[in-house]
Structure 1
Amino acid sequence: MKYHWIEEYILSKVGINKDFKKEWNWNRYLLKDKMVAAICKDKEGKNIITLKCEPIFGEELRTRYEDIVEGYYMNKVHWNSVNLDGEVPDEILKVMIDQSYELIFRSLSKKVQREIGEYK
């Protein structure tokens, strides 16, 4: 995996917990019980990270970078997978992680958002 900083970056986000979904062989990064990111291998054995993005932004990224594709085993409109041995710039990957976190955070109830905010 080329992006050795990814796990530390994701885990630095407030409220994120990591688990391992044995049935899927996925490392998942969760905010409460909602997935923000998953690191796994695709059907070809490539290391990938799957992240949620705004649909228009995700489509633009898939057009610009061949190492970004529709989400592996996820909703193809909202989720995108990045080849972790590819050539996506670090800054783009950080923006994708930040956006995935923000989208999941905003999907939580205001009460839960406030609870997470107290961790800061």
Structure 2
Amino acid sequence: MKYEWLDEYCLSKKGAQKDFKVDWNATRYLIGGKMFAMQGGDKDHKPIITLKCDPLFTRSLRDQYQHIVAGYYMNKEHWNSMYLEGDVPDNILRQMIDMSYELVLGKLGKKTVKEINEGTNVG
């Protein structure tokens, strides 16, 4: 797989955890119990990662990269899926992961964010 660093990078985010959702056959990366990334496959079992993005950035990425599409089984305005066998540069994928993490973290309650920042949140 391209992007061998993907799992380690997602888990390097403060308070990040991962689980495997059997029904979806996908690995989810969570912060405060909320998903910020999901790695699985599309209907043809092609490997993808799905990430939350700012709506303007979402559209820009889809226009710029053929391997970034509307979020697979997600809200198409706020989520993008990226084919992991595509040609999206590593720095763009890292930027997407960072944005997704920050957007989800920003929606968590103050108490949860404080626990994450103090390292006391268990998910």
In the alignment, the residues of structure 2 paired with residue 26 and residue 44 of structure 1 have an alpha-carbon distance, to the nearest angstrom, of 14
Letter in 2 for 1:110: K
Within 5 Å, give how 1:35-114 maps onto structure 2: 35-114=35-114
Q: Structure 1 unaligned segments of length 5 or more: list them.
A: none
Q: Structure 2 unaligned segments of length 5 or more: list them.
A: none
Letter in 2 for 1:92: I
Using the aligned pairs only, state the percent identity.
57
Shift of 1:119: 2.1
Count of residue correspondences: 120
| Partner SS state of residue 23, structure 2 | coil
Shift of 1:67: 0.3
Q: Which has the higher contact order (CA 8 A, sep 6+)?
A: 2
Shift of 1:52: 0.1
Deviation digits for residues 41-85 of structure 1, max 9, x if unmatched?
A: 101221000000000001000000000000000000000000001
| Partner SS state of residue 63, structure 1 | helix
| TM-score normalised according to structure 2 size | 0.95
Letter in 1 for 2:80: N
